[in-house]
């Protein structure tokens, strides 16, 4: 660790200066900033540790009344923007959902870092302090959790809390609640959340402010908002930019994040040549239809619904005897199946998984083994075929033993796939119904032995009965969500 040299400070500052035009100019120039931020974070953590100790010493020892310092602490806790140093007191309980993306944050948050002493107890007590904000979200009338009630909650916060105390916590909380209210893809809501920040307060006033993370907790919070937008593929707009410049100024990390989003979102928006619609159909039959179309390259293939699931009104909603069966087959596959040698068996294999956004569906294929090379028919070019030009160059090669006939070809040949299906149940009885249905259009199938090679369903990620219909309401934690998010980003939507 060393102090920043003036040259580096200059470079950093220039990077900032150029940022509003070319956001990516920052990337190389910021290379030194994590070190500086690490120093900062370490020193700030020390401060917080010290103040915590003070409070511990004072607080419990005077049960009759809170000591003056702890009172000050509570005050500061609710208006963290007043002092940059003390605001970091609340740092570690910012959120369990640590914002990623900015390189400094990992260093600052890493609890294993030797520079950061582990805070002893106060975590739990402070988390409880968030409860008032939780209440704002509970106020919503029962059952109705929509955009209006979310907006209402946010407005309640701003009205009730004119000084915007604890707004960072509230924003984190609101971010977590967005999914429940189904507003996680709503740009206006994100702008609304950003609007909670007090304006002009966190803007860096001088060069040193912008070098050292100015109001880090607020900036992290702003980044968290943008990060969640990114994860849900929401493109920030002019209003977002305006808000960010008002709140954090141009030379700030949220702004950097914004510029990067502006740059890359447009590039990645249509990167997937096979886009999956944003809102997947809820009906499993429609979902299967979509998934099958998604997998089948031949556009002339026909989707057939072999069996509809029983309607939901019936007593047994998940009647195992009547799951849906949807299959797809192209004319080419039909022709290939018609030419299949009945002496060779064909196989039903599966279930294989297919992810459509955050839903996993399972499919089965009907396939045959590859013909052994000696039985393959070589397509012959008829002698008198083309009236105009030779279809084959007939050169009298004098091949001898010297010549190398084997070429290094990396090709794995696979047997033909004749049809794909998706069914509500993965047992043999259901799939046998599919084969029966296929026999109507493929008469030869009646003469071909069909072997079921079904793997145990242990490989399934979700239980087939519930997994197809339910979406997890609570945001999945940790890795799983990360994967989902990545997937979502790849299948970038509008």
Partner 1 sequence: MSGCGLFLRSAAAARLGRALVAFTASRRPLRTSPPSQAFAKELFLGKIEKKEVFPFPEVSQDELNEINQFVGPVEKFFTEEVDSQKIDREGKIPNETLEKLKSLGLFGMQVPEEYGGLGLSNTMYARLGEIISLDCSIAVTLAAHQAIGLKGIILAGSEEQKARYLPKLASGEHVAAFCLTEPASGSDAASIRTRATLSEDKKHYVLNGSKVWITNGGLASVFTVFAKTEVVDSNGSVKDKVTAFIVERDFGGITSGKPEDKLGIRGSNTCEVHFENTRVPVENVLGEVGGGFKVAMNILNSGRFSMGSAVAGMLKKLIEMTAEYACTRKQFNRNLSEFGLIQEKFALMAQKAYVMESMAYLTAGMLDQPGFPDCSIEAAMVKVFSSEAAWQCVSEALQVLGGSGYMRDYPYERILRDSRILLIFEGTNEILRMYIALTGLQHAGRILTARVKQLKQGNVTTIMETVSQRVRDSLGRTVDLGLTGKLGAVHPSMETIVEEQLVLKRVANILINLYGMTAVLSRASRSIRVGLQNHDHEVLLANIFCTEAYYQNLFALSQLDKSDLRREERGTPRNSEHWHPTPTVLTRLSPPAVGMTKWLLQQILRKISMN
Q: Stretches 2-10, 142-150, 391-399, 473-481: which one binds partner 1 (CB under 8 A)?
A: 391-399
Gyration radius (Cα) of the chain, Å: 31
Alpha carbons 231 and 340: distance in angstroms, whole number: 48
Mask of contacts with partner 1, 190-219, x by CB under 8 A?
------------------------------
Q: State which of residues 313, 316, 403, 410 lies at the interface with partner 1 (CB under 8 A).
A: 403
Residues near partner 1 (CB under 8 A), total: 22
Residue 391 CB, nearest approach to partner 1 (Å) = 6
Helix (H, G, I), strand (E, B) or coil at 329: strand
Q: Minimum CB separation from partner 1 for residue 378, in Å?
A: 13
Q: Which of 131, 393 has the CB closer to partner 1? A: 393
- Nearest approach, Cβ of residue 332 and partner 1 (Å): 20
Question: Nearest 5°: CA angle at 189, between 186 and 192?
Answer: 155
SS3 177: helix
CB 24 within 8 A of CB 260: yes
> Would you count residue 394 as binding partner 1 (CB under 8 A)?
yes
Residue appearing with tokens 């956004």: 357
CA neighbor of 451 nearest in space, from 329, 364, 333, 354: 364
Among 264, 249, 269, smallest CA distance to 20 is for 249
Closest distance to partner 1 from the beta carbon of 399 (Å): 7
What is the token pair recorded at 2? 């060393």
d(CA 71, CA 55): 10
With H, G, I as helix, E, B as strand and everything else as coil, classify residue 200. Answer: coil
Listed ranges 194-202, 223-231, 305-313, 392-400: which one lies at the site for partner 1 (CB under 8 A) = 392-400
Distance separating alpha carbons of residues 90 and 122, to the nearest angstrom: 10
CA dihedral over 327, 428, 456, 369, signed as positive or negative: negative
> Closer to partner 1 at the Cβ: 28 or 382?
382
Nearest approach in angstroms of CB 427 to partner 1 is 47
Residue from 7, 61, 397, 479 in contact with partner 1 (CB under 8 A) = 397
Which tokens hold the place of 294? Answer: 């998604």
Q: Compute the distance between CA of residue 248 and CA of residue 201 in angstroms, rounded to an integer.
A: 8
* 406 to 435: interface string for partner 1, x by CB under 8 A: -x----------------------------
203 touches 172 (CB < 8 A): no
Q: Which of residues 326-385 bind partner 1 (CB under 8 A)?
A: 382, 384-385
Least separation in angstroms between residue 402's CB and partner 1 is 7
Q: How far is the CB of 373 from partner 1 (least distance, A)?
A: 18
Return the number of the residue (316 or 410) whose C-beta is nearest partner 1: 410
Which of 396, 412 has the CB closer to partner 1?
396
Residue 274 vs 389, nearer CB to partner 1 = 389
Give 114 or 390: the residue with its C-beta nearer to partner 1: 390
Of these, 378, 393, 456, 473, which contacts partner 1 (CB under 8 A)? 393
Q: Least distance from C-beta 377 to partner 1, angstroms?
A: 17
Contact assessment for residue 361 and residue 353, using Cβ atoms and an 8 Å cutoff: yes
What's the number of CA atoms in the CB half-sphere (13 Å) around residue 387? Answer: 0
CB of 274 or CB of 388, closer to partner 1: 388
Cis amide leading into 378 (omega within 30):
no
Tokens for 136, please give them. 């704002």
Q: Which is closer to partner 1, CB of 279 or CB of 384?
A: 384
Residue 309 carries which DSSP code?
P
DSSP 326: E
Q: How far is the CB of 393 from partner 1 (least distance, A)?
A: 5
Nearest to 215 by CA among 379, 377, 82: 82
**Binding segment for partner 1 among 258-266, 397-405, 415-423, 430-438 (CB under 8 A)?**
397-405
Q: Exactly one of 6, 402, 414, 478 binds partner 1 (CB under 8 A); which one?
A: 402
Widest pairwise Cα distance in the chain? 109
Q: How many residues does the chain have?
A: 494
The residues that touch partner 1, with contacts defined as CB under 8 A, are 382, 384-400, 402-403, 405, 407
């Amino acid at each position: 660790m060393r102090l920043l040299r003036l040259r580096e400070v200059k470079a950093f500052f220039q990077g900032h200066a150029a940022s509003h035009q070319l956001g990516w100019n920052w990337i190389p120039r910021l290379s030194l900033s994590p070190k500086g931020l690490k120093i900062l974070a370490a020193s700030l953590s020390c401060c917080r540790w010290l103040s915590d100790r003070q409070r511990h010493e004072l607080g419990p020892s005077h049960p009759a009344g809170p000591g003056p310092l702890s009172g000050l602490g509570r005050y500061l806790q609710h208006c963290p923007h007043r002092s940059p140093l003390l605001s970091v007191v609340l740092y570690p309980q910012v959120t369990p959902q640590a914002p990623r993306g900015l390189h400094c944050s990992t260093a600052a948050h890493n609890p294993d870092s030797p520079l950061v002493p582990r805070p002893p107890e106060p975590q739990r007590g402070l988390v409880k302090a968030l409860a008032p904000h939780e209440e704002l979200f509970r106020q919503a009338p029962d059952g109705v959790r929509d955009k209006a009630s979310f907006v209402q909650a946010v407005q309640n916060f701003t009205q009730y809390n004119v000084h915007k105390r604890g707004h960072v916590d509230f924003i984190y909380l609101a971010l977590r609640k967005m999914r429940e209210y189904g507003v996680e893809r709503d740009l206006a809501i994100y702008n609304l959340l950003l609007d909670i920040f007090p304006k002009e307060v966190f803007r860096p006033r001088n060069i040193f402010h912008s070098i050292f993370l100015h109001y880090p907790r607020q900036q992290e919070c702003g980044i968290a908002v943008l990060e969640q937008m990114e994860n849900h593929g929401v493109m920030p707009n002019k209003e977002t930019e305006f808000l960010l410049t008002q709140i954090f100024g141009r030379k700030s990390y949220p702004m950097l994040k914004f510029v990067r989003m502006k740059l890359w979102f447009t590039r990645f928006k249509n990167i997937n040549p096979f886009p999956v619609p944003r809102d997947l159909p809820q009906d499993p039959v429609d979902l299967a239809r979509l998934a099958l179309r998604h997998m089948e390259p031949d556009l002339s293939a026909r989707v057939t619904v072999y069996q509809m699931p029983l309607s939901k009104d019936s007593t047994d909603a998940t009647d195992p005897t009547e799951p849906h069966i949807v299959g797809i087959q192209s004319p080419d596959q039909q022709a290939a199946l018609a030419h299949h040698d009945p002496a060779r068996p064909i196989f039903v294999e599966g279930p294989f998984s297919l992810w459509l956004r955050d839903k996993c569906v399972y499919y089965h294929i009907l396939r045959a083994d590859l013909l052994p090379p000696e039985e393959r028919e070589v397509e012959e070019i008829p002698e008198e075929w083309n009236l105009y030009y030779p279809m084959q160059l007939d050169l009298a090669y004098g091949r001898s033993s010297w010549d190398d006939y084997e070429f290094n070809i990396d090709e794995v040949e696979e047997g033909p796939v004749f049809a794909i299906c998706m069914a509500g149940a993965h047992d043999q009885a259901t799939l046998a119904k599919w084969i029966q249905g296929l026999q109507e259009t493929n008469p030869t199938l009646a003469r071909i032995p069909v072997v079921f090679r079904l793997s145990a369903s242990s490989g399934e990620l979700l239980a087939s009965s519930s997994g197809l219909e339910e979406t997890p309401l609570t945001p999945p934690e940790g890795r799983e969500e990360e994967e989902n998010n990545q997937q979502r980003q790849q299948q970038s939507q509008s």
